[in-house]
Amino acid sequence: MSAPGRQSMILAGALAIIALLSVAGTLYEILAHPVTPTADYFIWIESVSRLIKGDSEGLFFMARTYHPFIPIIPLATFAANALLFSWSPVADLLFGCFLAVVKIAIVSVCFFDRKNPWRCLSLFLVLLSLQFSATHFSVLGWGVNTICWQWATLGFALGLLGVVKPKNDLAGAALMVAGGVAASYSLGNILPCWIALLAALLLLRRKAIIWWPAWIAGLSISMAQYLFLPAFKKPSIIPFSPERIELFFRLLGQQMCNYGEGTSALQTASFLFGITALAALLVLFALNIRTLVKREADSGLAAGIAMAGYALASAVLITLVRETAAPWYVEITGFLWWALVCILARPGAVPKKPLAVVLSLWLAGAFLFQLRAFRTNDWFACSRSPAAASTLEHFDTAPTTSIEYLNAHGYESFAGGASCLQEMGYMCFRRAPHRRLITLQGEFFLPSVRTTGTDPEKIAGIAWVDKKGEKMPPSSSKDLDLRLPRGCTLTWDLKIPEQASGARLIAGYSGEKPAMRIIGEKGSQSDALSFSAAGPDSLEASLGKGDRTVEFHADSGDTLLLHPRVVLDGAPPPVPALPPRPANTDLSPDFPGLRSSPEDLLLPAFHQGEWVNSGMTFLQGRSGERSSTLTVESNPQFYLKTPLNLDLSGYQYMVFTTRQDRDAQSSASPATAVQLVLNDTIIKSVLVPLLLDGKSHSYSIDLDVLYLPKAAPHQLRLSNIIFLPAYGGPVQGKTIEAGAIRLLRGNRSIKSEPGVAPETRSDPAPRP
User: Is omega for the bond preceding 386 within 30 degrees of 0, making it cis?
Assistant: yes
Q: Which of 93-102, 205-214, 711-720 has the lowest mean pLDDT?
A: 711-720
Phi, then psi, of 457 in degrees rounded to 5: -65, -35
The four Cα atoms 59, 62, 64, 70 give a dihedral, to 10 degrees, of -60
Asked whether the predicted pLDDT for residue 558 surpasses 70, the reply is yes
Q: What is the CATH number of the domain that holds 439?
A: 2.60.120.260
Q: Which residue has the higher pLDDT, 350 or 750?
A: 350
Q: Which of 32-36, 303-307, 520-524, 631-635 has the lowest mean pLDDT?
A: 32-36
Average pLDDT over residues 616-638: 80
Kindly indicate the confidence band of residue 585, based on its pLDDT and cuts at 50, 70 and 90.
very low
- The C-alpha atoms of residue 579 and residue 392 are separated, in whole angstroms, by 7
Same domain, 477 and 453: yes
Q: Which of 526, 554, 569 is the last residue of a domain?
A: 569
Same domain, 352 and 410: no
Beta-carbon contacts of 766 under 8 Å, excluding residues fewer than 6 positions away, are 580
Helix (H, G, I), strand (E, B) or coil at 543: coil
Listing DSSP states for 64-127 in one string gives HHT-SS--HHHHHHHHHHHHHHSS-HHHHHHHHHHHHHHHHHHHHHTT--TT-HHHHHHHHHHH
In a domain, 196, yes or no: yes
User: Which among 39-53, 96-110, 562-576, 633-647 has the top mean pLDDT?
Assistant: 96-110
Tell me the Cα Rg of the chain: 28
Asked whether the predicted pLDDT for residue 417 surpasses 50, the reply is no
The pLDDT value recorded for residue 50 is 73
The pLDDT value recorded for residue 756 is 28
Same domain, 177 and 323: yes
| Residue 421 and residue 46 in contact, taking contact as beta carbons nearer than 8 Å | no
- The C-alpha atoms of residue 118 and residue 116 are separated, in whole angstroms, by 5
Q: Which residue has the higher pLDDT, 174 or 56?
A: 174
Kindly indicate the confidence band of residue 392, based on its pLDDT and cuts at 50, 70 and 90.
very low
Asked whether the predicted pLDDT for residue 631 surpasses 80, the reply is yes
The pLDDT value recorded for residue 264 is 63
Asked whether the predicted pLDDT for residue 210 surpasses 80, the reply is yes
In a domain, 462, yes or no: yes
| Residue 673 and residue 685 in contact, taking contact as beta carbons nearer than 8 Å | yes
pLDDT tens-digit profile of 138-171?
Answer: 555 555 567 888 899 999 999 999 999 998 999 9
Asked whether the predicted pLDDT for residue 21 surpasses 50, the reply is yes
- The C-alpha atoms of residue 256 and residue 362 are separated, in whole angstroms, by 12
Number of domain units in the chain: 3
pLDDT tens-digit profile of 221-265?
Answer: 998 887 766 545 556 677 878 888 988 998 898 887 765 444 566
Q: Which of 526, 547, 569 is the last residue of a domain?
A: 569
In a domain, 31, yes or no: no
The pLDDT value recorded for residue 594 is 38
pLDDT tens-digit profile of 254-311?
Answer: 887 765 444 566 678 888 889 989 998 998 888 888 888 777 778 888 999 999 999 9
Same domain, 396 and 328: no
Same domain, 549 and 622: no
Amino acid at 226: Y
Note down the domain range covering 350: 3-26+37-229+240-373
Average pLDDT of the residues of the chain: 71
Same domain, 149 and 63: yes
Listing DSSP states for 220-287 in one string gives HHHHHGGGS-TT--PPPPPPP-HHHHHHHHHHHTTTT---SS--HHHHHHHHHHHHHHHHHHHHHHHH
Residues linked to residue 506 through DSSP beta bridges, in sequence order: 540, 565
In a domain, 707, yes or no: yes
Asked whether the predicted pLDDT for residue 710 surpasses 60, the reply is no
Same domain, 498 and 554: yes
- The C-alpha atoms of residue 94 and residue 82 are separated, in whole angstroms, by 15
Same domain, 538 and 650: no
In a domain, 382, yes or no: no
Q: Which residue has the higher pLDDT, 93 or 454?
A: 93
pLDDT tens-digit profile of 478-511?
Answer: 677 888 888 888 887 776 766 667 778 888 899 8
The pLDDT value recorded for residue 424 is 37
Q: Which of 59-73, 291-305, 597-611 has the lowest mean pLDDT?
A: 59-73
Asked whether the predicted pLDDT for residue 179 surpasses 80, the reply is yes
DSSP state of 26: H
Beta-carbon contacts of 15 under 8 Å, excluding residues fewer than 6 positions away, are 122, 125, 126, 129
**How many Cβ atoms from other residues are within 10 Å of residue 527's Cβ?**
11
Asked whether the predicted pLDDT for residue 212 surpasses 90, the reply is yes
Same domain, 203 and 344: yes
Same domain, 439 and 325: no
The secondary structure element, H or E, covering residue 650 is none
Beta strands across the sheet bearing 488-496: 449-453, 488-496, 546-553, 515-519, 525-526
The pLDDT value recorded for residue 7 is 56
Q: Which of 339, 373, 407 is the last residue of a domain?
A: 373
The pLDDT value recorded for residue 226 is 77
In a domain, 109, yes or no: yes
Kindly indicate the confidence band of residue 379, based on its pLDDT and cuts at 50, 70 and 90.
very low
The pLDDT value recorded for residue 236 is 67
In a domain, 57, yes or no: yes
Average pLDDT over residues 320-347: 82
pLDDT tens-digit profile of 428-466?
Answer: 222 233 344 555 655 554 445 667 766 767 777 788 888
Asked whether the predicted pLDDT for residue 342 surpasses 70, the reply is yes
pLDDT tens-digit profile of 677-704?
Answer: 877 766 676 767 676 777 777 777 767 6
Share of the chain above pLDDT 70, in %: 63
User: Which among 79-83, 259-263, 605-609 has the top mean pLDDT?
Assistant: 605-609
Same domain, 286 and 321: yes
Determine the angle formed by the axes of helices 211-224 and 169-184, rounding to 10 degrees. 20
Asked whether the predicted pLDDT for residue 384 surpasses 50, the reply is no
Same domain, 508 and 535: yes
- The C-alpha atoms of residue 46 and residue 102 are separated, in whole angstroms, by 29
Closest alpha carbon to 152 in 192, 93, 92: 192
